[in-house]
Amino acid sequence: MKTTLLSRALAVAAFAIGLMGCSRALIPADWPSWERLNAVPVEGAVPGHEERFRIAFINPVGETVKPVVANRSVTWKYSDGSIILKAGYQGSAPPGKGETPSKLSAMIKKPGDPRARGGWIWVVRDTASGIESVIDAPYCVDCHSYANGPNPFGDKNPAGDFRDYVYLPYTAHADGG
Ligand code: HEC
């Protein structure tokens, strides 16, 4: 009995992988035109993001986020459809304009999706192969939950605001534009 169940589970998994293979890309092609979250590339690898230089982008839906203040605590909540993407560059010099990143890491706000963790779908795309992988294991969301309290990154969130799992929260015109 057990082996039958196992082989059925494997067949279902193979089918799901097949579906993934022909499904539409989750990361939209127009991401290079989105607003940047950090004017200067973040430099120095952090666990989970090994590329030396990283630039984060936010789509127009994400830009609608407004921190809410209640009882002296600040809460960030991104609208459904928000996408925050990080382009990782392997080179040893800061990326030039239009340079192709080696890896894209994205968080897509879609709380109703069974693949979402903490309300976000976590996706990685290898730009060379174009292959996207959804990370529904706790790997991404666990580390990003530390963004919701004081942490060593960005502005360090000293007040421990709920940042909706985002380390570099969107503040308009971070790129000076
Ligand atoms: C061990 C910790 C850690 C893990 C694991 C991790 N991240 Fe991050 N992530 C960070 C930190 C720190 C930043 C902000 C600083 C930077 O860009 O290096 C960040 C930034 C980001 C950003 C830009 C938005 C923001 O939060 O500032 C995205 C998008 C992102 N990560 C996606 C992912 C995805 C997708 C995964 C899983 C494949 C992942 N991360 C795994 C620590 C992590």
Do 134 and 140 touch, CB atoms closer than 8 A?
A: no
CB distance 48 to ligand 1 below 6 Å: yes
Do 162 and 75 touch, CB atoms closer than 8 A?
A: yes
pLDDT for the residue 73: 87
CB distance 56 to ligand 1 below 6 Å: yes
Do 51 and 75 touch, CB atoms closer than 8 A?
A: no
Nearest CA owner, ligand 1 atom 37: 140
How many angstroms is it from 144 CA to the middle of ligand 1?
A: 6
Do 175 and 36 touch, CB atoms closer than 8 A?
A: yes
pLDDT for the residue 4: 62
pLDDT digits (tens, 9 = 90+) for 113-171: 999 999 999 999 999 999 999 999 999 999 999 999 999 988 899 999 999 999 988 87
Nearest CA owner, ligand 1 atom 13: 167
pLDDT digits (tens, 9 = 90+) for 25-83: 999 999 999 999 877 777 777 777 888 899 999 999 999 998 999 888 899 999 999 99
Do 146 and 138 touch, CB atoms closer than 8 A?
A: no
Q: Inform me whether the pLDDT recorded for 177 exceeds 60.
A: no
Tokens of 172: 């308009």
Q: Which of 123, 164, 152 is nearest to 46 (CA)?
A: 152
